Amino acid sequence: MTNQLTNLLSPHRLGAITLKNRMVMAPMTRSRAVDGNVSHPLAPVYYGQRASAGLIVSEATQVSSQGVGYIRTPGIHSAEQVDGWRRVTAAVHEAGGVIFAQLWHVGRVSHAEFHGGKPPVGPSPLSANAEAFISTGPAPTPVPRALATEEVPGLVEQFRQGARNAAAAGFDGVEIHGSSGYLLDQFLRDGSNIREDRYGGSIQNRARFPLEVAAAVTEILGGDRVGYRVGPSMTLHSMHDSAPIETFTYLAAELDRLGLAYLHVTEGVAGPDAPSPGVERVAPHLRRAFSRTLILNGGYDAELGEAAISRGEADLIAYGVPFLASPDLPKRFRRGAELNIPDYPSFYVPGEDESVGYTDYPSLGAHAAQPRSSKLAGETA
């Protein structure tokens, strides 16, 4: 494999930035934020270790306290949170890397514990039938309160301010989280949106809020520093749509008109994010609808990533768990070296020593204890 990754390890122009390779570190929740939902003091080390990625997308980061759905997840809406992220971006830049913040609002995938005893919000009063992780452990998500039409502009402003704060924190750009059954995805798909106002009904109406968010963020940062993530085949959090190809193709074309730098598509080649057998893949339709950089994510290894780029299916490939467990993943791919074994129990539940499973994965040639799990790596987001 040493000399065969001519595409995956080649530079790529992403909007205003030249990436040193086409490997993206996918956004991965790590549940290690400290008081005030500030990123962990070790986060600069964690992200800096992985700065050999062409692009790092940060773990999902709440644009407001209303957007919280899990304990110990970071935000980007307070001065303390911005300061914490500023230390992360400085470490990544010092190591020669590029990092975007992923802007997040969970919507209905939340719990009253995070909202003063009140239910979370969503487009419609339909439960995600999922679990939120609260102070006492997993808890079922309640039926959300349907947002009033007049509340939606305030949500757009939360994302607009998130973009401002990301710039203040030193991020090179942002990725808008429109995937995984969270708020923007909830508005877009008809399985979670049964509204009858201007934000419900037709594809155009259901896409209105996501596109208003994208336009607001683009006004702050410029389209060449903004990406958008979708998961058209994801069923996580009870998500589904009656016409996913039409729905997501419309969204992709409209994001293209806004001039966004990239579209990040999670539609796995294997695993839970892959379409069900016999179901048509949506990603090829999005490739035709979106003229700029397309990122594919979900179950790719070096060979599959190289092949997808060489066939023109994608410009960049995002890797989750492989980057989590092997901080020097591009070097390992270049040399055909083995990857570290991921320690699954420490993904979201830190031990007493919070560096374990976080910053203690060794680079090639380093001497460190290997994580203990022997399971095969998958993708997380």
The residues assigned a catalytic role are 182
Neighbours of 337 (CB within 10 A): 16
CA-CA distance, 38 to 245, in Å (whole number)?
38
What the block records as the tokens of 242 is: 């009656």
Q: Where are the beta strands (DSSP E) in 172-213?
A: 173-177
What the block records as the tokens of 218 is: 């683009």
The answer to whether residues 191 and 138 touch, using CB atoms and an 8 Å cutoff, is no
Exposure string for 352-378, b = 16+ CB within 10 A, e = fewer: eebebbbbbbbeeeeeeeebebeeebb
| H helix or E strand, kind and range, residue 244 | helix 244-258
Of 35, 183, 42, nearest to 123 by C-alpha is: 183
Of 305, 300, 298, 324, nearest to 229 by C-alpha is: 298
The answer to whether residues 255 and 263 touch, using CB atoms and an 8 Å cutoff, is yes
Which three-class secondary structure state does DSSP give residue 152? helix
CA-CA distance, 20 to 9, in Å (whole number)?
8
- Quick one: 107 exposed, middle or buried, by C-beta within 10 A (0-12, 13-18, 19+)? buried
CA-CA distance, 265 to 46, in Å (whole number)?
24
| H helix or E strand, kind and range, residue 217 | helix 208-221
Q: C-alpha distances in angstroms, 377 versus 92, 299, 300, 341?
A: 24, 9, 10, 7
Neighbours of 339 (CB within 10 A): 18
> First-to-last CA distance in the chain?
27
CA-CA distance, 46 to 225, in Å (whole number)?
23
CA-CA distance, 71 to 113, in Å (whole number)?
10
